[in-house]
Chain A
Amino acid sequence: MSAERASRAGWLFLAPALTLIGVFFFLPVGASLVLSLTNFDIYAVADPRNAQLVGLRNYRELVAAPLFWTALKNTFYFVLVGAPLTVLVALGAALLVNAKLVRLKGFFRTAYFAPYVTTIVAIAIVWRYLYHPRYGLVNAVLATVGIGPIDWLGDARWAMPAIILLVVWRNFGYNMLIFVAGLQRIPTQLYEAAELDGAGWWARFRHITLPQLAPTFLFVGIITAIGFFQLFAEPYVMTQGGPLKSTLSMVLYMYEEGFRWWRLGSAAAIAFVLFVVILAFTLLQLKIQREEP
């Protein structure tokens, strides 16, 4: 094939996707940065000429707004508790499902994974009823062991844990599959050799499984954290960010600023802060992983 023919074909095949991604993704990313430096508000929505560049004013106002810090704190609470919990449950489920003695592996894998394919909005509505202080199943189960009743979504201390529980339930199956794939890549000879040396279950887990899974942990950790930073539908449907703003996430805050109050400049600044936070968090995880022996 001539180089010229290949070059033309390559660009022709790329053209549709690149055009779409360029116009509807990269262009808006750049525009978003500019937008965050303007006072774009409801008057500018009516006529964009009303918007003016204001430098870093949106960012300065955000830093001074208590609600911004609440949203940031809630989001970190959600990520720092929810993501490790999801990863741990996923690892546990993967070890169980992948155990040699287990029959019906396919059934268990499907059952654990099923919540992940469900629609978040629908499932958040279901859990809203499950969390009902009087008629909900969660409190009914807890009552059998003498706990409760807890006003899950009406109490500022419990609303975020309630959302975390729902999100762990919906997401662990996905990470479980990735762990199962990681477990299946560990050479069986390693375990056989360890068994010959008389290593017990725990020793094999610590010295073979965990180190061999290190790259999987990194992948799962990054993917889960990135996804969790974007929490939106669950608090939107279940609590509207309440009670007392205890479940207001960064994305929900951005949505309300941008599409409820039409302060697009300020909302774009929130989006960029979120972007920087996610990026920093990802780089941090990569760095920690690399420094570990």
Chain B
Amino acid sequence: MTATTRRALIKGAAAATAMAAAPIPVSAQAEAIKFGILTPLTGAGGQDGPRMLKAIEAVINEVNKSGGVLGRRIETIVEDDQTNPEAAVRAARKLIEVNKVPVIMGTWASAVTSAVAPVCWESKTFLCTVSGADSITQLPHQGYIIRTQPTSKLQATAHAEFIAGMGKKKVAVIGIQAPFALSTKEHLDSVLKSKGAGVVAHVIYEKDKPTYRSEVDQAMRSEPDFLYLNGYAPDTVVLLRDLYKANINLPKFCQSYAVPQKTLDSIPPEVSAGTYTGQPSADIEGKAFNLTAARLGIAEPDSYEAQATDWASLVILTLAKAKEVTGTALRENVRKISQGAGAKVYSAVEGLQLMAQGQEINYEGASGPCDFTDIGDIQGCRFRYMEVVDGKLRFLRVV
């Protein structure tokens, strides 16, 4: 048996006083708000998923330190989608049915997002994604999806303008089998055609093959003057090597996620020579971007880290606005804090402070303004182009 000593009583009283005096009380008793993170920690997206996770957690830590949201702490429940639709659906069900999360954020591959989306909207769970396939926001998702990544259409249009700007006329598209493959090719073709150029070959390949020699041969039969490689990192590396071996020195365009610097480091510089990359640009001159860089302790967060920062911030601010922790509340309220005439804020903590003073806010994100259309797409975006020189990515321009 333990007796309550006077010393223990004094200690307890002191602790209670200290807690009461804390500036913003976070109830230790109140159950934490759970955010579901479903992102590729392995598979083709394994290079981006962990960084997105870090960016989300950084925002959450900052908010927790300043008192949480609705008087509650935020907690993450992390699942690996393995860049695999089947594994992703299983993990999403677990997050929704077992952990009862109001939101899932972090899906990367379009095939994964397409598979997970119906599970989310049917269970009234909000979904934040970076997948670009046009088809995703055209699903009957009833408003339960927002994506901060520009659609394939926006991307292909920008890329086609970049390629046409280089004076290229005959573009061969070699792309991975994915939901964005066909729409990207069609948008590229229509924009190129309007500029007197066009897509002369379209080869769709299967992922995870050790060589694409025959696919390269097939594309080259149309005698292109430019190559558009529309895949993920593991297969793009194989393609670049096969192109080099086949003595094909044409300039080529890749999505930036297909040739991050780490991947370039794994291949000899002569293989990656003549590669151009494009990505939705984080808002590199923006205030939110600088705050993100400081929060993550890195000089230049990329588009994925910026977008992940924005999801976490948007969801936290929306919960504060809605005063209710459900997927439906997120759906109903997200546009009330992401756009409109409210005071511009650049971080979740800043937004929470203004809202506590009763002000309306408009979150301006690290990836861009974060203004969403009715179907959950962003309304516009800038693009950042790089060129690979001596195996290193060199900045070209932001358009």
A binds B: no
Interface of B toward A, CB cutoff 8 Å: none
Interface of A toward B, CB cutoff 8 Å: none
